[in-house]
Structure 1
Amino acid sequence: MMKLYLMLLLLIWSGNFHQSLQVQSKPNIVLILADDAGYADFGFQGSKEMLTPNLDSLAAKGVKFTQAYVSAAVCGPSRAGLLTGKYQQKFGFEENNVPGYMSESCLSDDEMGLPLDQKTLADYLLAQGYQTALFGKWHQGNADKFHPLKRGFIEFNGFRGGARSYFPFDKNNPNTRPEDRLEQGFRNYQEAPIYLTDYLADKAVDFVEENKAKPFFIMLSFNAVHTPMDTRPEDLEIFAGLIEQRQKLAAMTYAMDRACGLLIAKLKSEGLLDNTLIVFTNDNGGPSDANFSDNSPLSGTKANHLEGGIRVPFIMSFPGELPEGTTYDMPISTLDLLPTFLHLAGENPTQIPGLDGVNLMPFVKNENKARPHDVLFWKKENRGAIRQGDWKLIRFPDRPAELYDLSRDISESNDLAGKYPDFVKELYKKLFEWELTLERPLWLLQRKYEGDAMKRMGQFKNNYK
């Protein structure tokens, strides 16, 4: 009897052990998302002004992508595409930010957000056994029904809106919006006792400590370096040699890099780094007129479809799985993050209908030498863009389209539309055919700041070093 009991115990133990191995074999996933950063404003992107040693090290030990794109030139829609793996216009999330001071709508604020019938990256990973957490900016709807804890995240410490102070919420400030409040969990509003960028990193580190025995997904969604230009005095002093505006940006960038370093150091100290995929990127191009970011050598800036509005820094690091110290030069999209993460979690993303992103792993590992995307699209109302191969067409509602060969003209300074009129018509038609597959916008906006997009386009066209 004792022998039989011992055999049963051994079977149970071995089964649990096998199950534990299966769980532990799934890699942890960390997505670090900057906000409104300039394309050139990192050491690994060539900046001589910004100090970003932790991100530089991450790039040196991982893969740097030279042609990474977002699906929208402003924050909210870009994040909606990232979270769903789909062009956000396919489910009516037009290329305008959801509620708040950015726009007034024909709908109430409570109706504006990431549609509830759309599954998020966190939803999928939660179903695969991941502990999921969001720290920082949400910007996918202010109403309770859009809350991160109802969209696949089991932990949330951040704010629902699109921007806020880096210092504690001032209840007496009439310009502070309700969605600016820092929230721990659901409707538990408590302000951070320290500079917000540092605080978000601390919370991410705590989450690793509490969940290190399980596979986890962390979305560390900084509001840095979005305005307001709030800095710690000691960080500001480091960059005393820069002009005031760039000095503040450099201090904010340095703080964000320090925060990234804290999380990476925690992963290393817990022995988790070799089983963790880390991705660092940005949600759209830098708004050079607002936070003095530098998108060179790209033309354009946030809110327009020149490269400076949609091409972003992008690092992927996974020791032992991805080549170290390399670059990947084919065009990719933040739409690819969802299928890539799901593949690593054990799910087949090709079985999910409607995804526009692809699993990047075989491409980055050089197992598939083709382009991940033959064609990429962007749209904001009547404005639109299409990239096919190395050719890019930008369409305007009030003037002729522009055509660029990005393989020769990264700064989009030589418009070739007049030289290749038939090709312009072909790309114009493909863009229109794609638009026919999209849903009508879920909300119509009185665009309070729409004029800034075109002003930026003119101001920062070909304004590069």
Structure 2
Amino acid sequence: MEKLRCLIVFLLVVSCLPTSVAQQKPNIIFLFCDDAGYADFGFQGSKVMITPNLDKLSREGVKFTQGYVTDATCGPSRAGLITGKYQQRFGYQEINVPGYMSENSKYLGDDMGLPLDQKTIADYLKKLGYKNAVYGKWHLGNADRFHPLKRGFDEFYGFRGGARSYFPYKNFNGVHHDNKMERNFGNFEEPKGYATDVLADEAISFIEKNKNNPFFIYLAFNAVHTPMDALDEDLEKFPNLIGKRKEVAAMTLALDRACGKVLDKLKELGIDDNTIIVFSNDNGGPTDKNASLNLPLSGTKSNHLEGGLRVPYLIKWPKKFKAGTVYNYPVSTFDLLPTFYAAGGGDVKDLEDVDGVNLIPFVDGSNEARPHKYLFWKKEARAVCRDNDWKLIRFADRPAELYDLSKDITEQNNLAFQELERTKEMFKKLFDWELTQERPLWMLKQQFEKYDIDRMDRYRTPELVKKEMEKYQKSEQNTTTIKN
């Protein structure tokens, strides 16, 4: 009888082990916004935007002052982060928007998507026992073969394309199928409310269902991308703003509210200490489209000045990272895949040919080196090489520019002609990197390249940006910040 009791106890312990081990893995939630301005959050210095929940996340986590994306536009940026590598290496150099592409492209329409031989964050985390969900904007291919449920995710509620209304469509006349809200695979279901709030509710439902198992949520808000849709009650919070600036402020408030609901649910369930929270943005704000503000950075979405590439970037992991940490070395969104994989217990040596690095030892101080000596960006003839704090920008229509970002964050003092040898060496380094790439699978019509250059010149200096913003404000200095 004693042996039988011991056997029963042993079997019970063994049967519980997988659950115990699984629950030690941290949950992971990636809060990803769209087209937000670098300066448009309280934790980034805004005195106008109302973002108490994200400000709190910044205080409780790690703030990266030099967080970058892999591209200055939506689709390629997402391709880089979800694969952990430079998307140019598999030909994903341009955005994938039907109607904008050159007819000479190899792939067009629904054939444009994340190549099927590329593994995603969700693919890797699934191997570690994670349940994976994506809510919101996909923008990595409209065809069924590119669908999130075929790329490692277990649940999806969102839209496959790049932009849509924040309110439910009353009918689908003229609405492309990739902009309809879809539940899992092929079940179109419009949101019962304002999309930003609804996406947060979907994430909360998933958390409640999976609170006893490790999960990964990619919460890809379309806020604050156009169209400029805002709730009346949110607009009322900004009486001193007008036009697009008022609308983007209201949309940012809704974004912060949605993030706060998710964070509050983690705390309510008692799993916040064992959850990694990341907040970032897909590219710089397009000031001309949504009145977003990237100051003190110059430039906007779609160009290679810092305002197009540098984004807000926060990570909170109470079990590992000290609250209130500020990290000043450059990091990229393609670092998230190896970081998440390592956090989940995976060996980063198993990752297939990624460019990102596991940020954990750099953030916790066990590795004091820079995560990256070099970083690169490219779109057609335009390209960037960053070597430590030096940044070289190559153009098609003008001489190259060289900046020392440690002294010139606004990129006003071009040192290319004073530092000729450095410029030459960085050109060579950029070319060496380009030799590792595939030819682009599709290309934008050439007219959009001129648009990107014109947009860059329009927002080339902080003075030009400030002048542009004057038309959106009554008296922004006197705006009262309302705390929730």
TM-score normalized by structure 1? Answer: 0.97
> Residues of 1 paired with 2:413 and 2:213: CA distance?
52
**SS at structure 2 position matched to 1:136:** strand
Q: Where does residue 479 of structure 2 map in the other structure?
A: none
**Counterparts of residues 274-353 of structure 1 (less than 5 Å):** 274-353=273-352
Matched, 1:230 2:229: yes
Which residue identity is paired with 1:350?
A: K
CA contact (8 A) 1:102 1:447 kept: no
Structure 1 position 6, deviation (Å):
2.4
Counterpart of 1:143 in structure 2 is: 143
Does structure 1 conserve the Cα–Cα contact (< 8 Å) formed by 2:276 and 2:316? yes
1:165 and 1:104 mapped to 2: Cα distance?
A: 27
Distance of 2:9 and 2:212 partners within structure 1: 22
Once structures 1 and 2 are overlaid, which stretch shifts more, 136-145 or 319-328?
A: 319-328
1:399 positional shift: 1.2
Q: Could you tell me whether the CA contact under 8 Å between 1:71 and 1:334 is conserved in 2? A: yes
Q: Which residue of 1 aligns with 2:109?
A: 109
- How far residue 177 of structure 1 moved from its aligned partner, in angstroms, is 2.1
CA deviation vs aligned residue, 1:34-67 (integer Å, no higher than 9, x gap) = 1000000000000011000000000001110000
Partners of 1:62 and 1:316 within 8 A in 2: yes
Counterpart AA for 1:130? Y
> Aligned-pair distance for 1:380?
0.2
SS class of match (2:236): helix
Residue 405 of structure 2 corresponds to which residue in structure 1? 406
Partner of 2:477: none
> Which residue identity lines up with residue 160 of structure 2 in the other structure?
R
For the 8 Å contact 1:62–1:317, the answer to whether it is kept is yes
1:66 aligned partner: 65
Aligned twin of 2:97: 99
Structure 2 SS opposite 1:290: helix
Q: Counterparts of 1:13 and 1:270 in 2: how far apart (Å)? A: 26
1:322-355 residue CA offsets vs partner (Å, 9 max, x unmatched):
0111210000000100000000111111332311
How far apart are 1:173 and its partner, in Å? 4.7
After superposition, give the CA deviation of every residue in 1:199-254 in whole Å (9 maximum; x if it has no partner).
Answer: 00000000000000100000000000000000000000011111222110000000
The AA in structure 2 aligned to 1:422 is E
Letter in 1 for 2:123: D
Unmatched segments (≥5 aa) in structure 2: 467-484
Aligned counterpart, 1:119: 119
CA distance in 1, matches of 2:282, 2:348: 23
Task: Verify: 1:369 aligned to 2:368, yes or no.
Answer: yes
Select between 140-149 and 415-424 the one with higher mean Cα deviation.
415-424
Q: Deviations over 1:344-399 (max 9, x none)?
A: 11111133231100000111111111000000000001100011010000000121
Structure 1 residue 104: deviation in Å?
A: 5.0
Q: Superposition RMSD on alpha carbons, in Å?
A: 1.2
CA distance in 2, matches of 1:363, 1:315: 14
- More displaced, 370-379 or 237-246? 237-246
Segment of structure 1 superposing worse, 353-362 or 2-11 = 2-11
Write the mapping of 1:191-270 to structure 2, written as runs, cut at 5 A.
Answer: 191-270=190-269
Separation in 2 of the partners of 1:99 and 1:407?
A: 36
Equivalent pairs, count:
462
- Between the aligned partners of 2:441 and 2:6, the Cα distance in structure 1 is 61
* Corresponding position of 1:181: 180
| Bigger mean CA offset, 96-105 vs 109-118 | 96-105
Whole-Å separation in 2 of the counterparts to 1:433 and 1:307:
23
Query: Match of 1:429?
Result: 428
State whether residues 181 and 190 of structure 2, in contact with CA within 8 Å, keep that contact through their aligned partners in structure 1: yes
- Deviation readout 1:65-89 (Å, 9 max, x if unpaired): 0001000000000000000001000
Q: Note if contact 1:66-1:329 (Cα within 8 Å) is conserved in structure 2.
A: yes
Q: Contact 2:100/2:445 (CA < 8 Å) preserved in 1?
A: no
SS of equivalent residue, structure 2 residue 425: helix
Paired letter, 2:179: D
Native 8 Å contact 1:339 1:349 kept in 2? yes
Counterpart AA for 1:204: A
Q: Which amino acid aligns with 1:98?
A: N
- Structure 2 residue identity aligned to 1:27: P
* One-letter identity of the residue aligned with 1:395: R
Q: Secondary structure at the match of 2:188?
A: coil
Letter in 2 for 1:103: M
SS at match of 1:261: helix
Residue equivalent to 2:156: 156
SS of corresponding position for 2:187: coil
Distance 1:145 1:123 in 2: 15
Residue type of the partner of 1:272?
Answer: I
**2:140 is paired with a residue of what secondary structure?**
coil
Contact 2:101–2:442 under 8 Å retained in 1: no
**1:356 alignment partner in structure 2:** 355
Contact residue 301 and residue 460 of structure 1 kept, 8 A: yes
* Cα offsets for 1:144-179 (capped at 9, x unmatched): 0000000000000000001111011243553x3221
SS of residue paired to 1:366: coil
Does the 8 A contact of 2:135 with 2:203 survive in 1? yes
Which residue does 1:27 correspond to in 2? Answer: 26
Change (3 A) 1:102 1:205: farther
Q: Structure 1 residues 34-43 or 176-185, which shifts more?
A: 176-185
| Structure 1 position 98, deviation (Å) | 1.1
> What is the letter of the counterpart of residue 300 of structure 1?
G
Report the counterpart of residue 129 of structure 2 in structure 1: 129
Q: Is the 8 A contact 2:75 2:96 kept in 1?
A: yes
Contact (CA 8 Å) 2:338, 2:351: kept in 1 or not? no
Q: Deviations over 1:277-324 (max 9, x none)?
A: 000000000000000000000010000000000000001001131011
Residue type of the partner of 1:238?
K
Question: Would you say the 8 A contact 1:385–1:392 is kept in 2?
Answer: yes
Work out the CA distance in 1 between the residues paired with 2:95 and 2:68.
18
**Aligned equivalents of 1:232 and 1:6: distance in 2?**
63
CA distance in 2, matches of 1:136, 1:102: 23
Q: Which amino acid is the alignment partner of residue 126 of structure 1? A: K
Structure 2 residue identity aligned to 1:305: H
Of residues 347-356 and 52-61 in structure 1, the stretch that sits farther from structure 2 once superposed is 347-356
CA distance in 2, matches of 1:291, 1:80: 23
Q: 2:45 maps to what in 1?
A: 46
2 CA distance for matches of 1:381 and 1:167?
36
